[in-house]
Amino acid sequence: MSGAETLRLEYLTPSESPSEGWPDVLGAAAFDGGARAPPGGGTDFPLIHVHTPVLAGSREVLEVWRAGPRARTESHGRVRYAASGEFLFGSLAVSETEVTAEREPRARTALAVATELAYRQMYATLAAAGEPHLVRVWNYIPEINRETHGLERYRQFNTARHDASVSCARAVTGSVPAASALGAAAASPVTIYFLASRQAPAFIENPRQVSAYRYPLEYGPRSPAFSRATVLGEGEAATLFISGTASIVGHQTLHAGDPAAQTREALVNIQALLEQAARTRRTALSLESLAYKVYVRDPLELPLIRAELEAAMGAKTSLLYLRADICRRDLAVEIEAVGGHGSRPAR
């Protein structure tokens, strides 16, 4: 059975308990205060708490991934993961305070140590599971834009991710997963969750943008190692995972200081990815058919951003809004999306 036939995303509040229970949940991420186990029993699946507040609606939201009956739920090192058929969902969190004492003599920040540890653990889990293909990674980094030790923390993260990937013989260009890297609350752990598949994904780039892994040195000593999108399957059986997408053309930010224009530009970039996926993988997805997670730097700008999205896609599109700092200080909004699955709007 193909990924599009079995993998399904829902946004739920913790109080929502499906009548059928939770036997087919592969894994979940809880935003804001929603990390407590949802009611209904049968919650033996990876559940990670992400310290980013929910905007517009419920204060707590669960991002739930379903993929049929789980074959197993296990731990490998710090990673809690579950597998079902061809899919694997895993998650882990590493606090910078707990790794400070483990730092090596060479100059490495606590964030670099935590990130490298987290990525090594993720890769080791995939190897133990038969090395399924990494499809999508979500990264949440406390105080992502703060500068320490002469380097912005996002750039420290990119360097550590690169070093861990190289040391584990994983690609850092080309065949790299879709990904996002957003800010999280100060003092929260480096938090990562991921989806993998025994089916190799296709990797999609945006012709309007320089590939992130080809960014020039002005964006840091190591480029971000992610594809603009990945696709599992083809045609009607495809599932599309769009990375965090913003108002960037080439490699430069456009419309700094104008959140509405940035939102429109981000949607143009998402449309370009839809067209690339249609051309290379015969998908037939529209902006309206996707489920979105929208990261907003300043909550006061949410009405402008929300108005642009609803004008482009209608009020019934699945949209989850989160408050988070974004990888560039001049970006007001970042949007990620998933398509080719069943979804429920965020409450």
Gyration radius (Cα) of the chain, Å: 19
Reply yes or no on whether the pLDDT at 154 is more than 50: yes
Q: What is the pLDDT of residue 6?
A: 73
Determine, yes or no, domain membership for 137: yes
Structure confidence at residue 71 as a pLDDT band (50, 70, 90): low
What is the average pLDDT across 316-331? Answer: 95
Query: Which residue out of 63, 143, 334, 336 is catalytically annotated?
Result: 334
Q: What is the pLDDT of residue 23?
A: 82
What is the average pLDDT across 251-264? Answer: 98
Q: What's the distance, Cα to Cα, between the start and end of the chain in Å?
A: 30
What is the average pLDDT across 191-218? Answer: 97
Residues spanned by the domain of 63: 3-339
pLDDT digits (tens, 9 = 90+) for 6-51: 799 999 987 776 656 688 899 999 998 555 556 555 568 999 999 9
Q: What is the pLDDT of residue 128?
A: 95
CATH assignment of the domain containing 97 = 3.30.1330.40
Determine, yes or no, domain membership for 11: yes
Determine, yes or no, domain membership for 221: yes
Determine, yes or no, domain membership for 82: yes
What is the average pLDDT across 210-221? Answer: 97
Please give the structure tokens belonging to residue 104.
Answer: 């090596």
Reply yes or no on whether the pLDDT at 5 is more than 90: no
Q: Total domain count for the chain?
A: 1
What is the average pLDDT across 272-298? Answer: 97
Determine, yes or no, domain membership for 347: no
Structure confidence at residue 4 as a pLDDT band (50, 70, 90): very low
Percentage of the chain beyond pLDDT 90 is: 79
Reply yes or no on whether the pLDDT at 123 is more than 50: yes
Reply yes or no on whether the pLDDT at 341 is more than 60: no
- 104 burial (CB, 10 Å; 0-12 / 13-18 / 19+) is exposed
Determine, yes or no, domain membership for 223: yes
Determine, yes or no, domain membership for 344: no
Determine, yes or no, domain membership for 346: no
Asked about 334 being catalytic, the answer comes back as yes
Reply yes or no on whether the pLDDT at 85 is more than 90: no
Q: What is the pLDDT of residue 200?
A: 96
Q: What is the pLDDT of residue 73?
A: 85
Q: What is the pLDDT of residue 343?
A: 47
